[in-house]
Amino acid sequence: MQEVEKDYMPFASDEPPRWLLTRLHPPAILETGCIGPICAGRVGAEMRVRKTMSQAKNRRRIALAGGQWPWWSLVWLLVFPAVAWAQLDFERPPIDYHKTPVHDPVARLQQKLDSGQVKLAYDSEHGYLESVLRLLEVPVSSQSLVFSKTSFQLRKIDPARPRAVYFNDAVYIGWVQNGDVLEVASVDPRQGTIFYTLSQTPTDRPEFVRDRGQCLTCHASSRTQGVPGLLVRSVFTAPSGQPILGTSTYTTDHRSPLRERWGGWYVSGRHGNDRHMGNLTVRGRREAEGADLNLGANCTDLSRFISVDPYLVPTSDIVALMVLEHQSQTQNRITRANYECRMATQYDQMMNEMLDRPAGYQSETTKRRLAKVVNDLVDYLLFVDEYSLTAPIEGTSSFAREFAAKGPRDRKGRSLRDFDLKTRLFRYPCSYLIYSESFDGLPEPVKSQVYQRLWDVLSGKETAPRFAHLTPEIRSAILEILRDTKPNLPDYWQASP
């Protein structure tokens, strides 16, 4: 038998060492944005483990290469014949991303189409776009225009013909002039973001076709927290629409300085003396490095740059863009917390069976793993490290008014959807996605920890410096809003802080 370094196989004990359990839940994987571990041949290895597990445990120590080895050494040899970690494991159980049935808004709409309960209307200018927006309750005012070639329909996108993106809390629609399909993303409460296309060719039986992997080339990476998800990318763009590689490129959210946002996007709205990368094209790396951001600043009329006639509205509202950035990365973190919990639970179940532990036992490694994603999600929900605006933000459409009107509101008329737009995005910095189906769909072990962590912060028990932006008045207001508007809060939330 090949000699193994003693640091990695200290077989003096009948109990598995910490490093073996860590291999099953490697903390380093979490740091890189991966949702969980996977080893080469894991499925086959797991089957071999289960087949020999009871025999190994009964014998406790097994004969191997002429010596006596503890039973769990066989687990090591079977599960880790060659240690190799892939970044993502959502295509296998327990996630089984492509095979598990989904119930996202688009899937539900397709069921209604198939039953004849509703119909899609087609028009020659926009195809099925307006009908899809109406049936999925996606506001036209959310229109955001992106001219960088960052879609698979890139040949039909350039600064003169930007792609239009529309969204609500759970659905995202992409429309391209003379495009072959509508690009659709829809959030399933359990499986996260699901991608579809809808042919723009008129038919009696329109069908949203689920993507089987093409979209995940860009939409499942460290930029999306290692899960199938969405991102707003900012990159200097050439007049052709091609991103200028080798220059500044960012995945942006509510923490990003405005100077890093919206490269390759059109932006309509006022933002005072702050600057962004939108409304600009550059010719090469040198011009990008010295780009004059004043040229795209405080634009309220996009007809300076493009013909707005082909679009449903003449805007690419700055407030809608800010919400899109926050929402996409919040949803990614919710999905990641969901996946992490389900995967950690599966590994605990396997190890509990191997070690004769109680069925519901949660390992210390799993506790640390969940604590990490919980802390990350709660920090994000509460806008930790949010960029401080240097001037008021003012949009150019009805988006801000329509968004805020959706509520819900507490007995004092306050809502988590109320904007601030003077020094920060929202008046009460706790994400409205706490009302989403995906948040409610979090597995109980992780959701209960999220609630506990939120309570610790909002009640004032947690006083870490990163929560300094949440003054006692703001914490109290958020707590009161959630008590009045969020069903099924834990009982301890009703206690006085």
Strands annotated E in 23-178 = 61-64, 67-70, 144-146, 163-167, 171-175
Element (H, E) at 192: strand 192-199
Domain hosting residue 477, numbered range: 357-494
296 and 253 in a common domain: yes
Q: Which residue has the higher pLDDT, 349 or 54?
A: 349
Tens-place pLDDT, residues 396-433: 999 999 999 999 999 999 999 999 999 999 999 999 99
380 and 282 in a common domain: no
pLDDT at position 382 over 60: yes
pLDDT at position 71 over 50: no
Average pLDDT over residues 158-166: 98
462 and 393 in a common domain: yes
Give the predicted TM-score (pTM) of the model: 0.84
pLDDT at position 477 over 60: yes
- Lowest-confidence segment of 18-27, 216-225, 284-293, 425-434 by average pLDDT: 18-27
Return the SS3 of 186: strand
377 and 285 in a common domain: no
- Average pLDDT of every residue of the chain: 87
Greatest mean pLDDT among 17-26, 63-72, 88-97, 453-462 lies in: 453-462
240 and 381 in a common domain: no
314 and 231 in a common domain: yes
- pLDDT band at residue 70 using 50, 70 and 90 as cut-offs: low
Q: Is residue 199 part of a domain?
A: yes
283 and 146 in a common domain: yes
Tens-place pLDDT, residues 114-131: 999 999 999 999 999 999
**pLDDT at position 26, please?**
40
pLDDT at position 17 over 70: no
State the Cα–Cα distance between residues 338 and 225, nearest whole angstrom.
Answer: 12
Q: Is residue 346 part of a domain?
A: no
Average pLDDT over residues 208-217: 93
Q: Which residue has the higher pLDDT, 310 or 79?
A: 310
State the Cα–Cα distance between residues 492 and 497, nearest whole angstrom.
Answer: 10
**pLDDT at position 103, please?**
98
The alpha-helical segments, DSSP class H, found in 2-128 are 18-24, 27-31, 42-59, 71-79, 105-115
State the Cα–Cα distance between residues 132 and 70, nearest whole angstrom.
Answer: 61
**pLDDT at position 248, please?**
84
Q: Which residue has the higher pLDDT, 49 or 473?
A: 473
